[in-house]
Amino acid sequence: ENLSNQIAAGEVIERPASVVKELVENSIDAGASRIRVDFVDSGLKQIVVQDNGSGIAKDQIDLAFTRHATSKINNEHDLFNVATLGFRGEALASIAAVAHIEILTNTANGIGSRAVFSGGSKLTQEDGASAQGTKITVKDLFFNTPARLKYLRSPRTEMVKIVDIINRIALGYPQIALTLSNKGKVLLRTPGNGKLPQTVATVYGRHIAEKMVAIKNDDSDFQVAGLISKPELTRSTRNFISILLNGRYIRNFKLATAVMDGYGSKLTAKHYPIAIISIKVDPLLVDVNVHPTKQEVRLSKEKELGRLITSAVSAALIDKGQ
Ligand code: ADP
Ligand code: MG
């Protein structure tokens, strides 16, 4: 069983940033309003994610670490109507297969638990009082799968990937107070007050936030809202165009292009805007079950959405006399 968990881990957990992403998404699904992430040595030595979410009941901990067991999907209908970030029940089992994990968790009216998993099996579990929420410590990632370590990039690059994923989650959830620190040194702290411009200011800096304009557009299927940079503020890559579909950061070349199309000739070659595009859509129109990392999705009416985004962008730039 641990072998198949290790194989699954290879798909979901490619690098330290994947651990950070999966754990923080679990915290969001658990309804947390505050999430702290700390990492040591680009995440290979230690990653800690602490939230004030629902917590896990004492008798549900084993299930949480069992592959394909999820509390988020109960039937086939749910699978086509995914309203949570997680639904595959793979992350905790996959991480536990390739690292040491300690979990401290408590529900609103529980007594609290502490459990330790290593290389796929549970070593201990005991009662232990703690505040409501969950704190997961992941140590020595890939200690038993040395081949994985060889695929990692430099410590610097792995750290940038952690920062990048947290930045995008922060932009997708301005109502959550997120703190990212490296060995206690704070790298990002968002206000968690629901205000996107203030969140952008903490992620990209105030000088950037001041050069962003709001966009908004709806049709019967989609609600598009967000912030885009004025044409004079550009970057040399597309990486600063973040598309968030029901809060989930997705990679979608066509939708990123739709953002750029809205600038028309205001954008010169090899210049790319900064944009945060939040899309709300009925989950029934989205198939997130395409890839284990869930960053690629299949979207009904993608063309319509693209046009909606393009016209939202061009209207906002005309409004502001850009
Ligand atoms: P999935 O998110 O796809 O359900 P995971 O392996 O990521 O699968 O998590 C397994 C289960 O553990 C979740 O369905 C949830 O019930 C529980 N869980 C994980 N992390 C947390 C958390 N931070 N707070 C509350 N419950 C959690
Ligand atoms: Mg999950």
DSSP for 183-249?
TTEEEEE---SS-HHHHHHHHH-HHHHTTEEEEEEE-SSEEEEEEEE-TT--BSSGGGEEEEETTEE
The pLDDT value recorded for residue 70 is 76
Contacts of 139 (CB under 8 A, 6+ apart): 45, 46, 99, 100, 101, 102
> What percent of the chain stands above pLDDT 90?
77
Cα–Cα dist 283/288, whole Å: 9
Whether 78 has a pLDDT exceeding 80, the answer reads: no
Cα–Cα dist 319/322, whole Å: 8
CA neighbor of 138 nearest in space, from 1, 68, 41, 33: 41
Confidence class of residue 317 from pLDDT cuts 50, 70 and 90?
A: very high
Q: Are 61 and 168 in contact (CB under 8 A)?
A: no
The pLDDT value recorded for residue 68 is 80
**Ligand 1, atom nearest to 49 Cα:** 23
Strands 113-118, 100-106: pairing kind:
antiparallel
Please work out whether the CB of residue 71 comes within 6 Å of at least one atom of ligand 1.
Answer: yes
CA neighbor of 176 nearest in space, from 261, 244, 259, 87: 244
Whole-number Å distance, alpha carbon 61 to ligand 1 midpoint, is 9
Whether 32 has a pLDDT exceeding 80, the answer reads: yes
The ipTM value here is 0.99
CA distances from 212 to 14, 200, 262 (A): 34, 9, 15
Place of tokens 């962003």: 212
Mutate to test the pocket of ligand 1, among 11, 26, 61, 101 (most ligand atoms within 8 A of CB): 26
Whether 24 has a pLDDT exceeding 90, the answer reads: yes
Whole-number Å distance, alpha carbon 206 to ligand 1 midpoint, is 35
Please work out whether the CB of residue 54 comes within 6 Å of at least one atom of ligand 1.
Answer: yes
Please work out whether the CB of residue 107 comes within 6 Å of at least one atom of ligand 1.
Answer: no
DSSP state of 269: T
Map out the domains of the chain with their CATH numbers: 2-189 (3.30.565.10), 211-319 (3.30.230.10)
Whole-number Å distance, alpha carbon 189 to ligand 1 midpoint, is 24
Please work out whether the CB of residue 5 comes within 6 Å of at least one atom of ligand 1.
Answer: no
Confidence class of residue 158 from pLDDT cuts 50, 70 and 90?
A: very high
Taking only the tens place, the pLDDT of each residue in 172-224 is 999 999 999 999 999 999 999 999 999 999 999 999 999 999 999 999 999 99
Taking only the tens place, the pLDDT of each residue in 233-250 is 999 999 999 999 998 889
Please work out whether the CB of residue 103 comes within 6 Å of at least one atom of ligand 1.
Answer: no
Helix (H, G, I), strand (E, B) or coil at 88: coil
- CA 33 to chain CA centroid, nearest Å: 14
Cα–Cα dist 53/46, whole Å: 21
Cα–Cα dist 101/212, whole Å: 41
Question: Can you give the pTM of this predicted structure?
Answer: 0.92
The pLDDT value recorded for residue 1 is 63
Please work out whether the CB of residue 46 comes within 6 Å of at least one atom of ligand 1.
Answer: no
- CA 72 to chain CA centroid, nearest Å: 17
CA neighbor of 88 nearest in space, from 22, 6, 16: 22
The pLDDT value recorded for residue 10 is 67
